[in-house]
Structure formats: C-alpha cells, structure tokens
Structure 1
Amino acid sequence: MALDPSEPPAKPAPSRRKRWLGMAAVCAALAAAAWAVATGTIEIPERFNPWAPLDVAAPPDWLTGFKLERARREPARCLAALAQTGMQYELLPDRVTGPGCGFRNAVRLRSAGVRLGTAPSLSCPMALSFFMWERHALQPAARQRFGQPVVAIEHLGSYACRNVNRGDDAMPGPSRSRHATADALDVAGLTLADGRRITVLQAWPRSSAASTDDPAALLLRDAHRGACRFFNGALGPDYNAAHRDHFHLETGGYDMCR
C-alpha cells in the first residue's frame, strides 16, 4: 500500500527500556515525596497527612480509617489517641486467664460521654474505636432521626474467655471469640435524652420489612452502618439468630459488616 505523503509519519512506539525508566522515575519521585512528608521536610496540613496522628475530634475524612488502623496497631500511639478522647478510664495490667484468653494494653472504661452501666474492660483499640463510633456515627444519627443525643448505651458485656458464638443450633467452634481478648463489645440498646429506650431486639427492622419509616429502626440501621466504618467487625440481627438482640462490635479480626 502506498503511503499518503500528506500524513505525518507515525511516531515510533517507546521502547520497553524507556517505559521502564519512566516508571522508575515516577516511583522514585513518589518515594521522595513520601519521605519528605514523613520526615517533616515538607509540611502539609495534618488533615491531608497520612502520617499525622489521629485527631479523634476532627470530622472523619478519607484518611480517618488509615489513621485509626495505624493507631490500633501501635500500643503507644493508641493510648496517646485515647487520652485525647476525654473518656474516663483506668489502665489494666496485662493478664492471661486461659488458653487464648486474656488482654494486653487494655482499659476499664468508666465514663464515655454516655452512661454504660457496668464499666466494660476493653483493649485500647476497642475503646478507641468505640469513641470514634459514638462520637462520629451514633450521635449524629440520633440527632438526625430524633433531634436529640443518646445519653446511655446498654451493653451485654465485653471481656469473656469463650469461643465464638455460632448460634443455638450450630456446633461449637474451636476459635476464640474476640471477647476473649477484650476486643469486642455487645450493644443491646440505646436511651435518648428524653428517656426513650430503643432496643435492638424490638426496633431492628427484620428482613420482612425491607423499608421502614420508623425513626428508631432507622437510627439502629445508621448505628450499624457507622459501626462498620469504625470497627473491624460489626454483626447484627441479620447475621444469625445469636445476634438477634444486639450488635457485636469488634476490632482486630477479619473485616465483617453483616
């Protein structure tokens, strides 16, 4: 086929070596920028700095999950973040109570901005996630649905040396529950400022009612959805019969939102 002299000649495709050198240059530039930010050579606002400590009071953004997970992984960083929350707690000595049971870097939560009944023993990651959920998910949802805050949270316990609860009809599982390491809390109900009590057992919208305009049901849905953001695991009544009356909230395990 004859070439059309009016068309410019096609540019040769870049060689594999040139492409590799270009990618290497980009990677090197990104690594240098990351190092400069991490070492403080280049300063950027903490809100946009993934290496900045978690600000527990700041509105959540696209980096909050990363910062929260980093704080949960590092005991000293976790305690530093927990100290910002204003919650009242006491540090617990590390202990082992049985095979696969016990806790490290844990606290007994005395006051959390809401009444809790009995003071739960929680790992630092769990206590930190609880604050983030209560502050940035539960309370905004309560104000949206009812125009008032939650003043008390009913729970069914935190630390317990036991295996995973798979339901009444299931065979006992060999794996330890996150409760066995103080990495879980079971939330059964909420009390609003006007005294109204909302329980998971009574107000959770069951599968037969896919849509609802009940504000109590909507609040529980919002609370569960928010828990999926701030905990590694959030299991509710839709998971199985063993959770029909509570939300199981946990840190440190597999990511689950059911």
Structure 2
Amino acid sequence: MQTDQPQPQRRSRIARVILGRLALSILLGLGIVGGLIWGEVIAIPNRLNPFTPLRIADDVSWLTRLKLSRLERDGAQCRAVLREASVSHRSVPDRAMEQGCGLSDAVEVSRSSVGLNQEFTATCPLAVAWALFEAHTLRPAARQHFGQNVARVTHFGTYACRNVNHRAGGRRSEHATANAIDIAGFVLADGQQITVKADWAGSNAHRVAFLRALRGGACNFFDVVLSPDYNEAHHDHFHFDMGSYRACR
C-alpha cells in the first residue's frame, strides 16, 4: 500500500536558487578577499566547496541539499555520483509522460549497502538521496542504538501511476514518476525486525529512538519526509520523496 502527503507547503524553487547563488557568491568573495590579504588563494576542502560535485562520503552540511538539487538538472552528473555509491543498479528506459505518469532518467535498484525486500525503480536523484541516507543516517543509527548493522530494508514500492493518497481527483503523487519511496521496516543483522507500524509508538525505547533518528536524518536528503506523526495514512511507513515540496514531519 502506498500513500503520501496531502498538501505540504510548496517551496519556492526560485528562492532556493537565489539563496544558493548568494551563498556561492559570499564564499567566492571570501576567497578573493583572503587572496588579497594573504597573497594567496584559500584552499577550500571539497566537502566545503560548493563548486565541487556531490560525493557520498562527504560529511553532511548545508551544501548537501544544494548539491543534491543540482543532480535534478544534470543527469550525467547524477549517474556519476550513483556509480560511486554502494548501489547495484541498471538504467531503465524512459517512459513518455501520459496523464502525469512516466519515467525519465530512472534506474532499477536491486541492492544497496543493505539488502532490500524487492527491487525498486527510482529517479536518479532519489537513488542518490537513498544512498546518502543509508551512509549517513541508517547505518550509523543502527550501530548507535543496537550495536549492529541493518541487514535488510522493507519497502512498499516506488512507482505507481496514481494521485496523492489514491484520490480520484487532485494532483499526481511523486510515486507517479518513481520519485518517492515508502519504507515500512528494517531487519537487523541478528534478525530483529523493526517496523514503523509496531515500533513508532511502541514500548521499546531503543526502537522508538532509532525510528525517530531515521525520520530526522532523512530530512537532510529528501525533500519530503512523512512519518506516523503526520497523519493516519502514514501509520505504517515513512514516505520519502524528491518532489517540488518541502516537509519534514
């Protein structure tokens, strides 16, 4: 079963671009001023340099989302980043948009740094965001709260030609272009099963803390992150997408 957000607040792409360019201008200006004062150009580490491509291994910062947003407009760069990630994937032929549903620059992911209950089709930016989430949130949280790794992720799927919340009318869901994924639970290395449905408001403090750490960390990479705190439709899964809205609930 796949459900997603009714009406999160729409973010302004224009404002995001303006802020990004302003930040880049400030950093460039600081480099120039430093060069004039000290007689040499200040070297900026790749992970702190807004001009360098995104790397999965880079520390998470405010630049992460800026670099992720570039991949939505640069398919070649997105594929290059994905090739460096621990994601087994193959290209999926584009599917012409018909009535708001279709595929563009998508991949089929068969395995990532953890196992999956089934393959999924995703836009390249969604697949990259998932790789970042695994590396910087999922695996560290599992080690922190349980002292072990995640062996498998259980998901409800990605692509589905439908409207938001399966309504007869309204806008198309991000699932209609494979730009969203619904996560139901996790299996740890020792066989423990943790599910959003049973453990989000459960009695096991470690499981509750783990799931909340995942929800919070996911917001560093996905545009929309919805949990059971959002509404009843999400009582049994997390919804992650790379759409044109911004929400973390």
TM class by shorter chain equals 0.7 to 0.9
**50-59 or 118-127: bigger deviation:** 50-59
- Name the structure 1 match of 2:157: 157
- What SS class does the counterpart of residue 220 from structure 1 fall into? helix
- Name the structure 1 match of 2:187: 191
Structure 1 residue 214 and structure 2 residue 210: aligned?
Answer: no
Question: Residues 164-243 of structure 1: matches in 2 within 5 Å?
Answer: 164-165=164-165, 172-205=168-201, 214-243=205-234
Q: How many percent of aligned residue pairs carry the same amino acid?
A: 44
Structure 1 residue 147 and structure 2 residue 147: aligned?
Answer: yes
* Alpha-carbon offset, residue 86 of structure 1: 2.7
- Name the structure 1 match of 2:29: 30
d(CA) in 1 for partners of 2:224, 2:32: 34
The question of whether the paired residues in 2 share the 8 Å contact of 1:150 and 1:190 is answered with yes
* Alpha-carbon offset, residue 79 of structure 1: 0.9
Amino acid at match of 2:161: C
Question: Residues 1-258 of structure 1: matches in 2 within 5 Å?
Answer: 30=29, 33=32, 44-96=44-96, 98-165=98-165, 172-205=168-201, 214-258=205-249
Say how many residue pairs are matched: 218
Gaps of 5+ in 2: 1-24, 36-40
Structure-1-length-normalised TM-score? 0.78
Amino acid at match of 2:199: A
* Alpha-carbon offset, residue 42 of structure 1: 7.2
Say what the alpha-carbon RMSD is for the aligned residues.
Answer: 2.4
Structure-2-length-normalised TM-score? 0.81
- Name the structure 1 match of 2:20: none
d(CA) in 2 for partners of 1:190, 1:113: 13
d(CA) in 2 for partners of 1:62, 1:232: 14
Amino acid at match of 1:48: L
Larger RCO: Structure 1 or Structure 2 (Cα < 8 Å, ≥ 6 residues apart)? 2
